[in-house]
Chain A
Amino acid sequence: GAVVSQHPSWVICKSGTSVKIECRSLDFQATTMFWYRQFPKQSLMLMATSNEGSKATYEQGVEKDKFLINHASLTLSTLTVTSAHPEDSSFYICSARDISGPYEQYFGPGTRLTVT
């Protein structure tokens, strides 16, 4: 149980284009999902907290107009990197909290984004 999927697992895009990453909780419902960014050999950096049916809460320094988050259902949140630049290249990981459980976060397998 508690499986979170991400799609795509990796993507290469050209500078200036937009990329959408999906995060799904497969066997549980999640009112809250989280989006993280991770650089090589570093810890996870929280970008935003996504709440079903409402606007996402962004961490300080994260541009909400560049990283668009939509949490349209209890099992799906999407992150769209708009007008991507090479410095946006990173490993993006989502996590979800089970609506019926305590406080654990279950992580997706991550999406490797490379902007050329």
Chain B
Amino acid sequence: GQQLNQSPQSMFIQEGEDVSMNCTSSSIFNTWLWYKQDPGEGPVLLIALYKAGELTSNGRLTAQFGITRKDSFLNISASIPSDVGIYFCAGQLTGNQFYFGTGTSLTVIP
């Protein structure tokens, strides 16, 4: 299946810094979603985006659905230690067709 390219692959930041990661695809998607996965657990939905250009926030997290519908970004402001984990983007093509990004591993240094 299709795979979405996420960058950066990993990040090491100081607590309090802002974080930005993005996801790109060669295909157009109708929905973009961002998930966080802690080790040994399933992904947890953070933000869902449904329209091109949409900008949505969830606490310190902000995500945008790219105008071209081929990309999305996720920002985390004022990072804290519990933000550590792997962040995955996912694009939805049709009703049951979801494709996941390669993941961005985030480490927050206290």
Taking Cβ atoms with an 8 Å cutoff, the residues of A that contact B are: 2, 4, 6, 32, 34, 41-44, 46, 49, 57, 59-60, 91, 93, 95, 97, 102-110, 112
In angstroms, Cα B102 to Cα A108, docked, is 19
Contacts of B88 in A (CB 8 A): 43-44
B44 at the interface (CB under 8 A from A): yes
Asked if B42 contacts A108 (CB within 8 A), the reply is yes
Q: How many residues of B contact A (CB 8 A)?
A: 26
Asked if B50 contacts A102 (CB within 8 A), the reply is yes
Chain A interface, >50% SS class: strand
Taking Cβ atoms with an 8 Å cutoff, the residues of B that contact A are: 1, 3, 30-31, 33, 35, 40-45, 48, 50, 88, 90, 92, 95-96, 98-103, 105
Asked if B35 contacts A32 (CB within 8 A), the reply is no
Contact of A103 among B40, B95, B99, B105 (CB under 8 A): B95
25 contacts between A and B (CB under 8 A): A4-B42, A6-B42, A34-B98, A43-B3, A44-B88, A44-B100, A57-B96, A93-B43, A95-B42, A97-B96, A102-B50, A103-B48, A103-B50, A103-B92, A103-B95, A104-B45, A105-B90, A105-B98, A107-B42, A107-B43, A107-B44, A107-B45, A108-B42, A109-B41, A112-B40
Identity of the chain A residue whose Cβ is nearest the Cβ of B99 in the assembled complex: A46
Identity of the chain A residue whose Cβ is nearest the Cβ of B105 in the assembled complex: A41
Asked if A107 contacts B98 (CB within 8 A), the reply is no
Asked if A43 contacts B100 (CB within 8 A), the reply is yes
Contact of B42 among A2, A41, A49, A93 (CB under 8 A): A93
A44-B88, A59-B1 are contacts. A103–B31 as well, Cβ < 8 Å?
Answer: yes
Contacts of A107 in B (CB 8 A): 35, 42-45
In angstroms, Cα B1 to Cα A60, docked, is 8
Contact of A44 among B40, B43, B92 (CB under 8 A): B43
In angstroms, Cα B40 to Cα A106, docked, is 16
In angstroms, Cα B44 to Cα A4, docked, is 11
Asked if A43 contacts B43 (CB within 8 A), the reply is no
